[in-house]
C-alpha cells in the first residue's frame, strides 16, 4: 500500500537537531535554513578556504545540488564559503574535497577566464 501511495508523490525524511530544527533536507530544497546556517557557523567558524568571517559567507553544496550530481541539502554536504571563494570555485568549475571535519582541498576544474 505504501508503494502505491508513494508512486506519485515526493517523500522525504527530515532529521532534526536537539532543538527540533531540521538540519537534513535531502533533495527537497536547495537553500539552507536558519538552523543549518547556525550549525555551519558553529562548525566551520568562517570560510572553509580563506577563513573569512561568517558574515561574509554563504552556504555551499559540496556535491552540487543540480543534476547530474544531485547533491543533498544536508549539513554534511554543506560548507561555509565567502562570496569571493564561492564565486571563484564556481567560475573555475572547481569543487571541494573534504579532508577533515572542517578542512577541504580544492580540486581545480579550469583556469578562470
For 2-18, what is each residue's pLDDT tens digit? 444 444 444 445 555 66
pLDDT at site 61? 93
Question: For the chain, first and last CA: distance in Å?
Answer: 54
CA angle 35, 33, 103 (to 5 degrees): 75
| Residue-range domain boundaries for the chain | 19-107
pLDDT at site 29? 74
Distance CA 59, CA 32 (A): 7
pLDDT at site 111? 64
Low-confidence ranges of the chain (pLDDT < 70): 1-26, 111-113
pLDDT at site 15? 54
Amino acid at each position: 500500500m505504501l508503494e502505491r501511495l508513494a508512486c506519485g508523490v515526493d517523500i522525504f525524511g527530515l532529521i532534526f537537531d536537539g532543538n527540533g530544527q531540521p538540519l537534513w533536507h535531502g533533495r527537497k530544497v536547495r537553500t539552507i535554513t536558519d538552523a543549518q546556517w547556525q550549525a555551519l557557523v558553529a562548525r566551520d567558524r568562517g570560510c572553509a578556504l580563506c577563513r573569512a568571517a561568517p558574515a561574509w559567507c554563504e552556504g555551499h553544496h559540496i556535491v552540487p545540488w543540480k543534476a547530474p550530481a544531485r547533491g543533498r541539502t544536508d549539513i554534511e554536504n554543506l560548507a561555509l564559503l565567502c562570496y569571493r571563494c564561492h564565486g571563484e570555485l564556481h567560475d573555475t568549475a572547481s569543487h571541494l574535497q573534504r579532508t577533515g571535519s572542517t578542512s577541504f582541498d580544492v580540486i581545480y576544474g579550469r583556469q578562470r577566464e
